[in-house]
């Protein structure tokens, strides 16, 4: 670890992948959320399944699950993990879709990045499938809600 305390930087400041080989494998879980805001007509079309590209929510769910499994391909210093569970839940509101992902594994490192990646990939998929209806959609409030397992223990975002 360097002087600033960043584990992904060595003593010279160069980026490197952290060695987790000596860490104990524990049950780990992470929950992440985000929201994509849109016009009321866009949310209505998604809820009614009335878009030209098909079932937006089903495709976004699959995109989120796939993204969680491929996080180490996108985020350079993430370890490839054997993920035991991924769920992506989508809730359509009047002018938004709220997305929550849960990722679980038993291993030497956590799944926070996988949960965050699942949410954002699902949101980007919604944007892609609905951009002809609403190019002003905004993805926001991407956050880790909770995580458990590992040396650092449990984290829960205050309400």
> Annotated catalytic sites, by residue?
128
Distance in angstroms (rounded) separating the CA atoms of residues 60 and 27: 27
The position carrying tokens 């035991």 is: 84
Rounded Cα distance, 40 and 96, in Å? 8
Cα gap 23→90, rounded to integer Å:
34
Place of tokens 């060595």: 10
Determine phi and psi for 96, rounding to 5 degrees. Answer: -165, 165
User: Across 52-95, where does the E strand assignment appear?
Assistant: 83-92
How far apart CA 20 and CA 91 sit, in angstroms, is 36
């Amino acid at each position: 670890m360097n002087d600033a305390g960043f584990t992904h930087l060595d003593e010279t400041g160069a980026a490197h992948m952290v060695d987790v080989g000596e860490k104990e494998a524990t049950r780990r879980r992470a929950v992440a959320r985000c929201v994509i805001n849109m016009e009321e007509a866009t949310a209505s079309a998604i809820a009614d399944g009335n878009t030209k590209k098909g079932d937006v929510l089903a495709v976004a769910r699959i995109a989120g699950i796939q993204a969680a499994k491929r996080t180490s391909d996108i985020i350079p210093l993430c370890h490839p993990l054997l993920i035991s569970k991924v769920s992506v839940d989508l809730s359509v509101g009047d002018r938004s879709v709220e997305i929550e992902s849960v990722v679980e594994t038993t291993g030497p490192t956590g799944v926070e990045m996988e949960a965050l990646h699942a949410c954002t990939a699902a949101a980007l998929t919604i944007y892609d499938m609905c951009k002809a209806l609403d190019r002003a959609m905004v993805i926001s409030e991407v956050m880790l809600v909770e995580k458990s397992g590992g040396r650092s223990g449990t984290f829960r975002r205050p309400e």
